[in-house]
Amino acid sequence: MNFELKWALIILFVILLSFFVPFTLLTNLATWNGSFLFWILMTIVVIVSNYYFTKDWGK
């Protein structure tokens, strides 16, 4: 599996997870703490994956 395909699948998984979790698993959550923690973790995942994807961009 080449580099671009691997990262495309990871990005697709993160996007699908970002839609699936808040609208299904966190729907009946009475407080906002669970969804806030989820979005913080998803933000960290996106930042780290973007760093690894673009660290060799100019080489």
Domain definitions of the chain by residue range: 3-54
Q: Where are the beta strands (DSSP E) in the chain?
A: none
Model confidence at 23, pLDDT cuts 50, 70, 90, reads confident
Specify the pLDDT at position 54.
Answer: 86
Decide if 45 contacts 18 (C-beta within 8 A). no
In angstroms, rounded to a whole number, what is the distance separating the alpha carbons of residues 32 and 36?
6
Identify the pLDDT of residue 22.
Answer: 82
pLDDT score of 44 more than 90: yes
pLDDT averaged over the chain? 84
pLDDT confidence band for 16 (50 / 70 / 90): very high
pLDDT digits (tens, 9 = 90+) for 26-43: 777 777 777 788 889 999
